[in-house]
Amino acid sequence: MTAAKSSKARLEPAEVKAELLAKYPPKVARKRSKQIMINEALENGTPEITANVRTIPGIITMRGCTYAGCKGVIMGPTRDIVNLVHGPIGCSFYAWLTRRNQTDPGPEGPDGENFMTYAFSTDMQDQDIIFGGEKKLAAAIQEAYDLFHPKSIAVFATCPVGLIGDDIHTVSRNMKEKFGDCNVYAFSCEGYKGVSQSAGHHIANNQVFRHIVGVDDRPVEGKYKISLLGEYNIGGDGFEIDRIFKKCGITNIATFSGNSTYKQFATAHQADLNAVMCHRSINYVADMMETKFGIPWIKVNFIGAKATAKSLRKIAAYFEDKELIDRVEQVIAEEMPEVEAAVADILPRTEGKTAMMFVGGSRAHHYQELFSEMGMKTISAGYEFAHRDDYEGRRVLPSIEVDADSRNIEEIEVEADPARFKPRKSAAAMQALEAAGTVKFKDYEGLAPDMAAGTLIIDDLNQHEAETLVKLMKPDIFCAGIKEKFSIQKLGVPMKQLHSYDSGGPYAGFKGAINFYQEIDRLVNSKVWSYMKAPWQENPQLSGAYVWE
Ligand code: CFM
């Protein structure tokens, strides 16, 4: 690349793609090429992207592991389940409260059950690896039970547990029977089980569905009962969404799993609608609940003020109740003026600026709503571990190849519950709602159709490509996670973590949108990172180039 070419105005997307691949050996370049897509609107959708495949060894991926997806993401935010990690202490320590998922002490007050601040681990040692760790696990479950008398204990397997073959499920079942008043179950979520944390989501979904959802039939009161699936209360997002639901008169029985409790999951089968926010992490539970209990699901998004209004309207339209429809309109009318005033304030400083976001399996899509409200364009985005349908829409599901890595993850066979299956709406009523265009069931369009033609969509971005991309396209802001943060800032570009939010939040809902506008305005208009000059830029210690083959 020559210096003259580094101006973002002159680089075509195909040239950027070629630059990203230029340093790879040919075989690696061929593989990566299929995960880098130049977006365009085709007659029947968008181009096909390769996703949810193994990262090529040697590449520094942004991804996490299966254990992270199960223990950290899905089960981490529930406050009154003891999460006991069977494995070496590091797996527990590094999964401990780094995601900024918040919780509310709940009706029991600040002394109520909240185990999130503890790191429970069996602290496996060499001798456990050699002689087996089942006895140690049983003792740890017993110790947690004696100390806290929790309603539930969840056991998580880390890599060595799978390698030595400890039977964590039998140990858990035996302890559950022994206690009688504590639900104990285990997750075979060894880090290596899948190609990313996505496999961990699936494993967690299966066990939550099998062991918790529907175990409590005590009735939950409420006129419009929903559950919110795939919202994890990072930076208090769930608090803001719950505030809005409450104002609308909507009862949120359970959030999976931000700010949640065991009882919420146990009673979630009583909802009349499942609203799915992060589809990637929780779609399995939504599908299984529909089959077993007859609860339909719709896709929602509470990231972005307009998206929030749209999602509320969808929920109201589903219930087909004038009182709720009017109430939702009233809430939107009350909330929007403050949002509009905030947009008017920041727009002159943010309009026309560019953003890139590479996050997980849904936020790289959802956050584009907030940026477009600020007049900012997303020039490149992608997921770490999403599947093709998250890019291209649910309609591609039948054409996704199931490879050995995916086949490795259990698919539960679910049937309608003989006593409790109750279709919430007739097939005709659901069709009528879809025909009216207000509600679409079990559907989502994916990230690609929402992005402009000529933008770059990149799956499983890595360290090398992130740096190259930023150097070539010079976005005004780059959004990703802690592993990317400092290398991007060293390139002189502001960086915002969209996993933990660094600090601050909420960014969901109406009040969250205002917080986000102000934070991004501050970041894209601060010049501080452009003053950065790394010492090696002036005084290089090494010179030369890599030569392949
Ligand atoms: Fe769903 Fe998430 Fe995400 Fe995710 Fe995650 Fe997360 Fe994420 Mo980090 S559940 S897929 S596994 S929205 S922890 S709250 S921010 S990568 S985009």
Ligand 1 pocket residue status of 359, Cβ below 6 Å: yes
Atom 7 (ligand 1) nearest CA: 360
pLDDT in tens, the chain (549 residues): 344 444 445 799 999 999 999 999 999 999 999 999 999 988 888 999 999 999 999 999 999 999 999 999 999 999 999 999 999 999 999 888 889 999 997 777 776 799 999 999 999 999 999 999 999 999 999 999 999 999 999 999 999 999 999 999 999 999 999 999 999 999 999 999 999 999 999 999 999 999 999 999 999 999 999 999 999 999 999 999 999 999 999 999 999 999 999 999 999 999 999 999 999 999 999 999 999 999 999 999 999 999 999 999 999 999 999 999 999 999 999 999 999 999 999 999 999 999 999 999 999 999 999 999 999 999 999 999 999 999 999 999 999 999 999 999 999 999 999 999 999 999 999 999 999 998 999 999 999 999 999 999 999 999 999 999 999 999 999 999 999 999 999 899 999 999 999 999 999 999 999 999 999 999 999 989 888 777 777 888 777 776 665
Integer Cα distance of 349 and 337 in angstroms:
20
pLDDT, tens digit, 9 for 90 and up, residues 437-477? 989 999 999 999 999 999 999 999 999 999 999 999 999 99
Which is the closest atom of ligand 1 to the Cα of 499?
15
Q: Which of 32, 51, 65, 479 is catalytic?
A: 65
Ligand 1 pocket residue status of 70, Cβ below 6 Å: no
278 is catalytic: no
Ligand 1 pocket residue status of 69, Cβ below 6 Å: yes
Q: Give all strands of the β-sheet with 273-276 in edge-to-edge order.
A: 250-257, 224-231, 273-276, 297-299
243 is catalytic: no
Mapping DSSP onto H, E and C, the string for 26-78 reads HHHHHHHHCCEEECCCECCECCCCCCCCCCCCCCCECCCCHHHHHHHHHHCCE
Look up the pTM and report it.
Answer: 0.95
Ligand 1 pocket residue status of 360, Cβ below 6 Å: yes
The half-sphere exposure of 412 on its side-chain side, counting CA atoms within 13 A, is: 21
Atom 1 (ligand 1) nearest CA: 278
201 is catalytic: yes
Which is the closest atom of ligand 1 to the Cα of 500?
15
Q: Which residues contact 483 (CB under 8 A, 6 or more apart)?
A: 62
- Determine how β-strand 224-231 pairs with β-strand 183-187: unpaired
CA angle centred on 357, ends 518 and 297, rounded to 5°: 90
Integer Cα distance of 114 and 141 in angstroms:
17
pLDDT, tens digit, 9 for 90 and up, residues 197-220? 999 999 999 999 999 999 999 999
CA of 223 to the centre of ligand 1 (A): 31
Ligand 1 pocket residue status of 71, Cβ below 6 Å: no
